[in-house]
Amino acid sequence: MATRTVADVMTAPVISVAPQTSYREIIDLLAEHGISAMPVVDADGTVLGVVSEADLLHKLALTGEEPQRRLFERRRRAVVRAKAAGDTAADLMTTPAVVVRPGATVVEAARIMENEQVKRMPVVAGGRLVGVVSRRDLLRTYRRTDEAIRHDVVHDVIEGMLFVRPPQVDAQVADGIVTLTGSTGRRSTAQIAEHLVRTVPGVVDVVNELTSERDDTGRERRHDFDAEVDGPERPRDGTLDIV
């Protein structure tokens, strides 16, 4: 089962700008290519930062304000005022940039975006820009057909990892939601099956209807352990009898 990585969904080559690119040029490039942000790179392809529509809006937001209001507006941070006065990508960009490796999984990339609250990230390999990945790119993972998802679940997980075949364990897929049916020997196997299915690209959710002959995840497992511990009696002096 192939886990989808950032390299599988990223956009390349990348529209980027140099530190000296002007404010007006940045606006024109964003509009021309229908994007909301671009990496700022030096001559070697090293990512210096990211310039976005939000960075550009600071200038517009402060336009027309009275000088006295700007002077005494304490709620505005110094970085906002600096960007509003900036005329080049170097002045306007957000730095350091939040970047991701091409080998990172789409799940890892999604977590970074969520934690850092960014919509797109430069993809960097060997310190240099190789692509860009956006939220939309990551969501493409969920555009797989139900038939393709079921094939992977049955072939890669049920047969390839659990070593059983339908109908002993089977899967039905509707709108990306996988329903697992059938029976496993142990409850832990049913839980592992659900975990593995969730990693299949395109799976939106899993409904686990698997039954099991033995629950080895809870009290029954503890009883087995207690039985082993309560077997041979230990000497009270802390030593062990060796037979």
pLDDT digits (tens, 9 = 90+) for 111-152: 999 999 999 999 999 989 999 999 999 998 898 999 999 999
Give the model's pLDDT for residue 24. 94
Tell which residue, 37, 14, 56, has the closest CA to residue 98. Answer: 37
pLDDT score recorded for residue 218: 76
pLDDT-wise least confident of 26-40, 51-65, 92-106, 117-131: 51-65
Residue 189's pLDDT is: 96
Q: Mean pLDDT over residues 167-192, rounded? A: 96
* Model pLDDT for residues 199-238, shown as the tens digit of each residue: 999 999 999 999 999 999 875 555 454 444 444 444 445 4
What value does the mean pLDDT take over residues 48-53?
94
Helix, strand or coil, per DSSP, at residue 202:
coil
Residue ranges per structural domain of the chain: 6-141, 144-219
Per-residue pLDDT band for 82 (boundaries 50, 70, 90) equals low
Query: For residues 119-137, b (16+ Cβ closer than 10 Å) or e, as one string?
Result: ebbbbbeeeebbbbbbeeb
pLDDT at 177: 97
At 51 the three-state DSSP class reads strand
Q: Which residue has the higher pLDDT, 86 or 38?
A: 38
Residue 65 scores a pLDDT above 80: no
Integer CA distances (angstroms), 205 to 17, 93, 148, 162, 178, in order: 40, 38, 15, 20, 6
**Residue 231's pLDDT is what?**
47
Look up the CATH architecture of domain 6-141.
Roll (3.10)
Instruction: Say what the pLDDT of residue 230 is.
Output: 46
pLDDT of residue 219: 54
Q: Of 126, 100, 141, which is closest to residue 9 (Cα–Cα)?
A: 141
* pLDDT reading at 98 higher than 90: yes
| 144-219 carries CATH number 3.30.1340.30 | yes
Q: What rounded mean pLDDT belongs to the chain? A: 85
